[in-house]
Amino acid sequence: MDMDGDWPLPRPKTLFRNERLPAGSLLTRQSTIASTFSFLATPVVAEAVQRAKALSTTSDAEGFHQLRVAFRKLRALFWAYSPWLGEEATAQAVEEFKRLAAVAGGTRDWDIAGDLLKAAQESRASIELLVAAAREKRAQAVAHSQAMIRSDEVEAFLNDVLLRAQTTLQSRCSDLPIQAFAEERVRLAQRALRKRSRRAARSETAHEEDLHDVRKAGKKLRYLLEFFQPVIKGGHGRTIKKLTSVQNKLGQFNDIAASEALIRSASFDEVPHPVVLESLQWLEKQKHRRMRAASRRVRAIAG
C-alpha cells in the first residue's frame, strides 16, 4: 500500500465570500486567479475539517491517511499561489500543514509497518510478539494524533489561513485570468520533476533521498494537474495516469523504507533484539528489491 495513495478531489460544497465565478459554473480559462483559489481550496478544507472531526472519536487508519493527504494537497495549492500570497505567508501556512500532516500520519505509518511485519512473519522473519508490539505502537500513535489534532482548532486555523489568503489574492489579482498563471506553475513543477528524475537516474541504483525527492516532485505535479486541468491547454489525463503509475512504484518503496526507519527508531522492550534484527534484515532485502523497481520506473520518465 502507498502511504500517500490517491485521494480524489471532492466536489466543492460552498464557496468563500466574494466568489466571482458565475453561479452554477465550473472553472474556465476566464476565471480569475483569486476566484480559482477559493473554488479549489474550499472542498479540500471541508474534507480536512470533516476528517478531523470524525477522527476525534475513531481510530480509522484510512481517515488519518486521508487527512494527511488533504494537508499535502493544501501545501501544493499554497505553493502554486505563492507568487501572489507572498513568501512569508506561504511558508507559515505550509509549515503548519506539514506539522498536521505528520501528526495525522503516525497511525497510518504503524499500520503499514504492522502489515509488513505480518508478511515477514509468514516468511519466518518475525514473530507474533513483534507484530503485537507494533499494534501497541499503533494505539499510541492514535492517542497522540487525537490529542494533537483537535477538530475545532484545525477548523479555526484553516478558516483563518484561507480567509487571509483569499483577502490577499482579492487585493492583488482579482481581475487576472487563471490560464497563463496556472500553466506557468505547472511548467515549473514539471521542470522540478524532470530535474530530480534525471539526478536520480544518473546511477544504476538511485539513493533513497533521490527517489524521495522524485516522489515529492511527482506528487506536487499531479496535484497541480488535478487542480488546474480544466483551465490549462492540452489534455493531461494521460500524464496524470502516468504519474500515478510512477507514484505507485515509488510509494511501494517508500512504504518499506519508512517502515524500516520507523522500526529502527522504536524501542521494543518486550521483544528479543535478535527478533527485531531479523525482521529488519528482511525489510532491508525487500527495500532493495523495491528500490530497483522504482529506479527503473524513474529512469523511464527521466528519459
- The average pLDDT across 99-114 equals 92
Q: 32 has which bridge partners?
A: 177
- Amino acid letter, 88: E
The model's confidence at residue 16, banded by pLDDT at 50, 70 and 90, is very low
Examine the pLDDT at 25 and tell me if it is beyond 80: no
The string of pLDDT tens digits covering residues 167-177 is 999 999 999 99
Q: For the chain, which residues make up each domain, given as ranges?
A: 31-176, 178-303
Examine the pLDDT at 115 and tell me if it is beyond 70: yes
Q: Is residue 200 within 8 Å of 249, Cβ to Cβ?
A: no
The string of pLDDT tens digits covering residues 184-224 is 999 999 999 999 999 988 876 668 899 999 999 999 999 99
Q: How far apart are CA 177 and CA 31, in angstroms?
A: 6
What the block records as the C-alpha cell of 49 is: 475539517
The string of pLDDT tens digits covering residues 247-281 is 899 999 999 999 999 999 999 988 999 999 999 99
Domain 31-176 has CATH 1.20.120: yes
Secondary structure of the chain: what % helix, strand, coil (to 5)? Answer: 75, 0, 20
Examine the pLDDT at 10 and tell me if it is beyond 70: no
- Output the average pLDDT for the chain: 88
The string of pLDDT tens digits covering residues 124-140 is 988 999 999 999 999 99
The model's confidence at residue 57, banded by pLDDT at 50, 70 and 90, is confident
The model's confidence at residue 3, banded by pLDDT at 50, 70 and 90, is very low
The string of pLDDT tens digits covering residues 206-217 is 688 999 999 999
Q: Which pLDDT belongs to residue 27?
A: 81
What the block records as the C-alpha cell of 194 is: 524532470
The model's confidence at residue 18, banded by pLDDT at 50, 70 and 90, is very low
Q: Which pLDDT belongs to residue 303?
A: 65
Q: How far apart are CA 178 and CA 297, in angstroms?
A: 33
**pTM here?**
0.86
Q: Is residue 9 within 8 Å of 226, Cβ to Cβ?
A: yes
Q: Which pLDDT belongs to residue 171?
A: 96
Q: Which of 95, 100, 109 is nearest to 141 (CA)?
A: 109
Residue 165's contacts (CB-CB under 8 Å, 6 or more residues apart) are: 37, 41, 78, 81, 85, 89, 93
When comparing pLDDT for 6 and 212, which is higher? 212
Percentage of residues of the chain with pLDDT beyond 90: 68
